[in-house]
Amino acid sequence: MTILGGIGFSAPWLLLGLIALPILWLILRAVPPAPIRQRFPGVALLLGLTDDESVSDRTPWWLLLLRMFAVAAIIIGLAGPVLNPHDQQADGSGRLLIVLDGSWAGATRWQQQSQVIDAQLTRAARANRTVGFLTLTRPEEPAFQSANVWRTRLAGLQPAPWQPSDADVIRAIEITKALDGFDTLWFSDGLEYPSRNDMLDALQNQGSVDVYQTGANVLAMVPASYKDGAITLTVKRAVAGPTSEVTLNAQGRDPAGNARILATVPAQFDDGATQATAALSLPAELRARITRFDIAGQRSAGATTLVDDGLRRREVALIAGRENREGLELLSPLHYIERALAPTADIIDGSLAEVLPANPDVIVLADIATLSEAEQAPLQQWIEAGGMLVRFAGPRIAASDISRDTEDPLMPVRLRAGGRSVGGAMSWGEPKSLDSFRETSPFFGLDIPDDVVVSAQVVAQPDPTLADRVIASLSDGTPLVTRKALGQGQVVLFHVTATAEWSTLPLSGVFVQMMERLAISSSAASVEAQDLQGTTWTPLRIMDGFGQLEDAGNLPGVDGADLASAAAGPDLRPGIYASGDRRIARNVVTDDTALTPTTWPADVPVHGLYVAPEMPLAGWLLSLSLLLLLADVVASLALSGRLLKRSNIAAILLVPLMQIPAPADAQSADDFALNATAEMTLAYVITGSPSIDTLSEAGLRGLSDTLFFRTSVEPANPIGVNLETDELAFFPMLYWPITPDQPRPSGDAYAKLNAYLRSGGLILFDTRDADISGYGGASANGRKLQDLAAPLDIPPLEPLPSDHVLTRTFYLLQDFPGRYTGRDIWVEASPPDAEQVEGMPFRNLNDGVTPVVIGGNDWAAAWAVSSNGAPMVPVGRGFGGERQRELAYRFGVNLVMHVLTGNYKSDQVHVPALLDRLGQ
Amino acid sequence: MITPATLRANAEDQAARFPDLLARAEHLAGAVLLGSHGRRRAGGGDDFWQYRPAQAGDSRRRIDHRRSARGDQEFVREHEWQIAQSVMLWIDQGASMRFSSDPNLPQKADRARLLGLAVAILLQRGGERVGLTGTALPPRSGRPQLLRLAELLSQDSADDYAPPEHRAMIPHARAVFISDFMGDLDGITLALTKAADRGVRGVLCHLLDPSEEAFPFSGRTIFESVGGTLRHETLKANDLKSRYLERLAERKSELQRLCAVTGWHYGLHHTNTSAQSALLWLYSALDTRVGAAA
């Protein structure tokens, strides 16, 4: 690639074509524009007039210039110009190793970094260098491959949510030493980490090292803490620069469940300070909804801190049995528990009925034995929905019969009567101390002070389930704390009082810890290693390097002590961890994480993360030349006086003219619906045979005329219906003549027909064969009818009985002739329990309109009239024939009446009953 | 193309808008019987012209005794000479007339035929005899003559520029020439002088398309006559404009001069102006000449 004035050309020799431009100028200038032929009678007057040579018409200079530009743009465009070309000589040779820090600190500018890497890979590809990748946060043997292969995989590179550890770097150094001979591009995230200098040395031994590092500062956020009603947020920066301000976002879900920023607070770095603090005071409701804090404009795991139970103050309702007891404060049954919970939980007072609608997290019942029916049911419902009921024993429970014979749903165990007292003045034996907590217990790992002794308790009945429900016991094995699950919630019973009357437990610090472990309270301060000693935490959701949460999958659990103190790494990913009901957020940056900026030796070139992308200009130039040529067309037309000629205008306008397809289908469908519904309309099925369709149309027209003259039904002109495309719902009945060769409707059409029949439509099938074969079986039309009607949802049929309502809807009929006088027509079978009505000549038949009428009498032919009203088809002979036609019309009238009025005429069966009721 | 029937219908339509023209013709009928113009001289007719003293040679029967009885002198009563006028039309049928510069404008030939036939209808209503110059259709009166006129007027001529027909001119008749007069001027001069020799007076209607007056051309252009016999190529049409207009003005003044010499009327009409105004001018020019040409 040749570079001329900052623009590279892939085919620079083509530029020699520019020399031809002046020659082109002279040629174009000498050639006059093409003539127009003009008819003009006045030409006789023009004969003999000669052109003045000095003013002979030439292409004007500006048009020439336009064309010159167009041609020049084509030549330069074809020469392949490239803006910001990369210097090919500097691409180097040999193997290339790209070293990435790959930590969270680079996540914010990962996109930028990827672009630079891509640009470097492009250069390497041009120089045919093989490239290997070494990520320090996940050191692996680099595979040297073609740069183009790596370019396709570049999107797969993701930052890790931790810093390279000492072990990682040492492993990377080992890997580096095993290789030989390569140049290095080191993409640093800007944070110092142990052994980085050793790594640099190792790389420099192999070849040249170039460092790419962003000039922006690295920001990180320390986990939020809650103190004195405000959330304290601390931000750190790597380089102590001048005064600057960052915005901190509190992210969470709004009441509708959508993730959004709930609050923002600015934090200001003082001049020269590396740490800034902001306090955020929020209402408890809002605070409880916060899921994470992050720094605006930053997109890294370090700039994000997840929020666990620490910020969430649990609501605890404390309810004691002996209310309004005047007495000493220290003897209040709730005193100790209140003191234990007050720093870390919001305490609700009130009666159970008042408290339940507030939906607290925990309800503590201190020595309450019986609950009223009205309290018990909603309380149980609340527990099953996830609530936690903590009960303390006491004299009342000991004295009551609760959970004595059968287990009370709100008690974890059955209780023996009376409880027991040990170590008192009136009893043998010493007060019992606590047994160490078993591994299955939520209290496992807590230290038990020696001074915790129990002198009285309620005693659980031995039950098969008892052993599973004990989570703490005395040294003699009697249960001290029992627990059972109820729905999604649980019931916990302390077998001692919440006061110091029965034991010293409430006086000891382990009581508070037990509350924490039960998630009754939540730890206010950051988790301490010893608090978590012996617990195992499973990751729920983990954070990637960008600070986005993702599902933890089946990552192994983490020891509690590690969770609190170990640095984040592949084995301890930042995220939300759970143990039982407790949630702990493990963040990347902790209070004692120091952000140290990297310093590079002077001999290592450090580049910024900026790349000017190569920009091919050929397309732009060729487009420009096209535009110029278009302008030339217009200008030439204008010059020769042809621009505004009518035909040319048409041609110019034709170019952008787009054919807008008219919504013809929708329009015709609308027209069809309007036609069909403006008035009552009879319809026939179009069979595709023109003669049959014409006859159907004429027949229904004749029937419509008859109806118009004789009845109050005044139909409009009949309409032919295409079963495939037309909507059927507009028509009360369809006349369907059967021809042997008509096409079988599609599945959609059958679905439409079935919907039509179910919604009260009627189809008159006419085999037009005089039913000569009986039962329509053997004739071609009959077989076709069976074929066509098979997918239809048709009820059982019977030959029209003599008392069917069709025989009397308008005329009294017993024969239903059309052009033929066939024997039977078939309608829906009457129900088997139809009975002859007393005093009436007909049975009490079904109440619905028959969905189909099937016959073969070719009614349409009998009804058909031409446009002037004369019958189209002869029927019978002489007067008898005319009588038959008249009966055919009467059948048609009866049929339409039947369709339109239903079984109205059948209701005459009720006339005697109605008359009887009227007292006539 | 205009068929004879539509041409006549159009012409009737044009003529129907001129009841007032006929009314003015009736004003003239104070002296002229309908169907014939008074010649403003004594002759055979029905209207009184003058009494003059009887001269030797006058028949005794011609002496008007009622006038003569008032005095001693004998007077003879003279009547005005009354005959119907013959008007001959020449409508240019050449190819150059079949031109219009804009689809919205009529062709010159259409306009010329329309005007010619409308004049013929008016004259026919006035009882004059109308015909074509030459021998194809001598002047006759009556409505059937209009049909024959329309028939002959809608026949195109193949020539680019047709010279005026000057043969078989009826002496002392009237003539109407409608043309663009773009052809050779000699033919026109010959026709006019010959007509003047025979005492034929008339009207010369110079019919032009607006583009022939404006010459709205530019750039390299090849001009062709409508028949295709003449062509002229120019590199810079707009440069020719002034010289063309000069020549056109020259031709107009030459025609006017000829008319002045031969006692004809010269009128200029453009196809983008109303046909009625041209018709009005034509008819009035014919009318006024009636009085003056005696």
Distance from CA of B254 to the nearest CA of A (A): 14
List CB contacts (< 8 A) between A37 and chain B: 221-222, 224
Provide the number of CB pairs (under 8 Å) joining chain A to chain B.
103
Q: Alpha helix (H) ranges present in A344-460?
A: 352-355, 373-384, 395-399
Dihedral over alpha carbons A740, A743, A748, A753 (to 10 degrees): -30
- Mean pLDDT of the residues in chain B: 79
Q: At B20, is the pLDDT very low, low, confident or very high (cuts 50, 70, 90)? A: very low
Choosing among A31, A37, A46, A59, which should be mutated to test the B contact, i.e. which has the most B CBs within 10 A? Answer: A46
Residues of A in contact with B270 (CB under 8 A): none
Interchain pair B222, A41: CB under 8 A: no
- Closest B-chain CA to A52: B239
A57 contacts chain B (CB < 8 A)? yes
**How does DSSP classify residue A311?**
T
Mutate to test the interface with B, among A43, A59, A636 (most CBs of B within 10 A): A43
Of the candidate ranges A325-339, A403-417, A889-903, B265-279, the one whose mean pLDDT is the lowest: A325-339
Distance CA A24, CA A69 (A): 12
* Minimum-distance CB partner of B235 among A40, A47, A51: A51
**How far apart are alpha carbons A101 and A186 in whole angstroms?**
8
Range with the lowest mean pLDDT among A265-279, A418-432, A621-635, A883-897?
A418-432
Position A28 confidence tier, pLDDT thresholds 50, 70, 90: confident
DSSP E strand boundaries for A72-189 = 81-83, 96-100, 130-135, 145-146, 183-188
Per-residue pLDDT for A560 more than 90? no
Predicted local confidence at residue B39, as pLDDT:
54
Cβ contact, residue pair A36, B219, below 8 Å: yes
- Percent of chain A at pLDDT exceeding 70: 87
Q: How far apart are the C-alpha atoms of B34 and B31, rounded to whole Å? A: 9
Per-position DSSP letters for A243-302, written without gaps between them:
-EEEEEEEEEE-TTS-EEEEEEEEEEEPTT-SEEEEEE---HHHHHHEEEEEETT--SST
With b meaning 16 or more CB within 10 Å and e meaning fewer, what string describes A474-492?
beeebbbbbbbebeebbbb
Q: B224 vs A42: CB contact, 8 Å cut-off?
A: no
Nearest residue on chain B to A38, alpha-carbon basis: B223
* pLDDT at residue number B291: 43
Under an 8 A CB cutoff, do A32 and B220 touch?
yes
Q: Does residue A69 register a pLDDT over 80? A: yes
Rounded CA separation B112/B271 (Å): 9
Q: Are A321 and A366 spatial neighbours (Cβ–Cβ below 8 Å)? A: yes
Please name the residues in contact with A313: beta carbons below 8 A apart, sequence gap of 6 or more: A226, A284, A287, A288, A344, A345, A346, A522
Using a CB–CB cutoff of 8 Å, tell me whether A37 touches chain B.
yes
User: Taking CA A160 as the corner, what is the angle to CA A155 and CA A166, rounded to the nearest 5 degrees?
Assistant: 135
Tell me the pLDDT tens digit for each residue of A532-541.
777 788 888 8
Largest CA distance in chain A: 152
Joined together, the tokens standing for residue B10 give 């159009």
Probe site for chain A from B92, B101, B225, B229 (most A CB atoms < 10 A): B225
pLDDT at A699 over 90: yes
- Please name the residue of chain A whose CA is at the shortest distance from the CA of residue B97: A41
Instruction: Locate the chain A residue with the closest alpha carbon to B223.
Output: A38
Three-state DSSP at A185 gives strand
Q: Are A887 and A673 in contact (CB under 8 A)?
A: no
**Among A188, A184, A298, residue whose Cα is nearest residue A236:** A298
Q: For the residues A218-231, what does the mean pLDDT come to? A: 81
The greatest distance separating any two alpha carbons of chain B, rounded to the nearest whole angstrom, comes to 87
Which structure tokens are listed for A150?
A: 């790596």
- Give residues 245 to 274 of B whose Cβ lies within 8 Å of A: 247-248, 251
User: For B117-148, what is each residue's pLDDT tens digit?
Assistant: 888 887 877 778 888 888 888 888 887 887 78
DSSP3 helix / strand / coil % (chain B, rounded to 5):
40, 20, 35
A62 phi and psi angles, rounded to 5 deg: -70, -30
Q: How many residues does chain B have?
A: 294
Whether residues A39 and B233 touch (CB distance < 8 A) is answered with no
Conformational region of residue B102, where left means phi above 0, alpha means psi within -120 to 50, and beta covers everything else = beta
Q: Is A34 on the interface with B (CB under 8 A)?
A: yes
A32, A39, A57: residue with CB nearest B99: A39
Half-sphere exposure of A376 (CA within 13 A, CB side): 11
Over 90: is that where the pLDDT of A602 sits?
A: no
The yes-or-no verdict on residue A890 having pLDDT over 90 is yes
Indicate the pLDDT class of residue B35, thresholds 50, 70 and 90.
very low
**Dist CA A393 CA A404 (whole Å):** 14
Mean pLDDT of the residues in chain A: 81
Is residue B103 packed enough to be buried (19+ CB in 10 Å), middle (13-18) or exposed (0-12)?
exposed
Which spans in A127-221 are helix H?
Answer: 147-153, 166-178, 196-206
Q: Are the C-beta atoms of A123 and A93 separated by less than 8 Å?
A: no
Q: Which amino acid is at A610?
A: Y
Element (H, E) at A538: strand A536-543
Chain A residue with Cα closest to B234: A51
Contact A511, A434 (CB under 8 A): no
A372's CB contacts (< 8 A; 6+ apart) are none
Are the CB atoms for A295 and A221 separated by under 8 Å?
A: yes
Least confident of A509-513, A772-776, A803-807, B41-45: A772-776
Tell me: pLDDT of A263 over 90. Answer: no
Q: Does B133 touch chain A (CB under 8 A)?
A: no
Q: Which range has the worst mean pLDDT, A645-654, A731-740, A758-767, B279-288? A: A645-654
Chain A: residue nearest B214 by CA? A42
User: Strand ranges (DSSP E) for chain B?
Assistant: 37-42, 48-53, 75-83, 86-91, 129-132, 174-179, 201-208, 221-224, 231-234, 265-270
Q: How far is B7 from chain A (nearest CA, A)?
A: 23
Nearest CA in chain B to A60: B219
Q: Which residue has the higher pLDDT, A707 or B15?
A: A707
A82-94 confidence digits (pLDDT tens): 877 766 555 667 7
Angle, in degrees to the nearest 10, between helices A61-78 and A618-639: 160
User: A55–B239: do the CB atoms touch at under 8 Å?
Assistant: yes
Cβ–Cβ contact B212 with A under 8 A:
yes
B99 vs A49: CB contact, 8 Å cut-off?
Answer: no
pLDDT at res. A32: 66
Under a CB-based contact definition with an 8 Å cutoff, are residues B202 and B169 in contact?
no
The tens digit of pLDDT for each residue in A462-491 reads 888 888 889 898 888 889 999 998 888 889
- Contact predicate A495/A393, CB 8 Å: yes
Please state whether beta strands B221-224 and B231-234 pair in parallel, antiparallel, or not at all (unpaired): antiparallel
Question: Token pair of A57, please?
Answer: 């018409």
A608's CB contacts (< 8 A; 6+ apart) are A212, A213, A214, A215
**Which A residues, 626 through 665, put their C-beta within 8 Å of a C-beta on chain B?**
639-641
Burial class (CB within 10 angstroms; exposed 0-12, middle 13-18, buried 19+) of A44 = buried
User: At residue B232, does pLDDT exceed 60?
Assistant: yes
Confidence of residue B25 (pLDDT cuts 50, 70, 90): very low
Kindly list the residues from chain B whose CB atom is less than 8 angstroms away from the CB atom of residue A41: 96-97, 99, 108, 180, 182, 209, 212, 225-226
Which residues of chain B neighbour A46 with C-beta distances below 8 Å? 223, 232, 234, 240, 244, 247
Tell me the pLDDT band of A658, cut-offs 50, 70 and 90: very low
B105: closest CA of chain A, how far (Å) = 15
In chain B, residues with a C-beta closer than 8 Å to the C-beta of A51 are 234-236, 239-240
Determine the distance from the C-alpha atom of residue A691 to the mean position of all C-alpha atoms in its chain, rounded to a whole number.
Answer: 57
Order of strands across the sheet with A615-616?
Answer: A2-4, A7-9, A81-83, A615-616
CB contact under 8 A, A41 and B233: no
Q: Is A497 exposed, middle or buried (0-12, 13-18, 19+ CB in 10 A)?
A: buried
A639 CB neighbours in chain B (<8 A) are 219
> The complex's ipTM?
0.72
Give the SS3 label for residue A627.
helix
In terms of DSSP H, where are the helices of A405-531? 466-469, 509-517
pLDDT value at residue A892: 93
Low-confidence winner among A32-41, A217-226, A242-251, A727-736 (lowest mean pLDDT): A32-41
Residue A172 dihedral angles phi and psi, to the nearest 5°: -60, -40
Nearest CA in chain B to A636: B219
Token couple for B217: 């051309």
A42 and B248: CB-CB below 8 Å?
yes
Q: β-pairing, A420-421 with A388-392? A: unpaired
Confidence of residue A327 (pLDDT cuts 50, 70, 90): low
Two structure tokens written together for A825: 């027509």
For the stretch A59-64, contacts whose Cβ atoms lie closer than 8 Å and that sit 24 or more positions apart, written own/partner, are: A59/A28, A59/A29, A59/A31, A59/A32, A59/A33, A59/A639, A60/A639, A63/A632, A63/A635, A63/A636, A63/A639, A64/A25, A64/A28, A64/A29
The C-alpha of B231 sits at a distance from chain A's nearest C-alpha, in angstroms, of 7
Q: How many CB atoms lie within 10 A of CB A112?
A: 17
pLDDT at A698 over 90: yes
Residue B108 CA, chain-centre distance (Å), reads 16
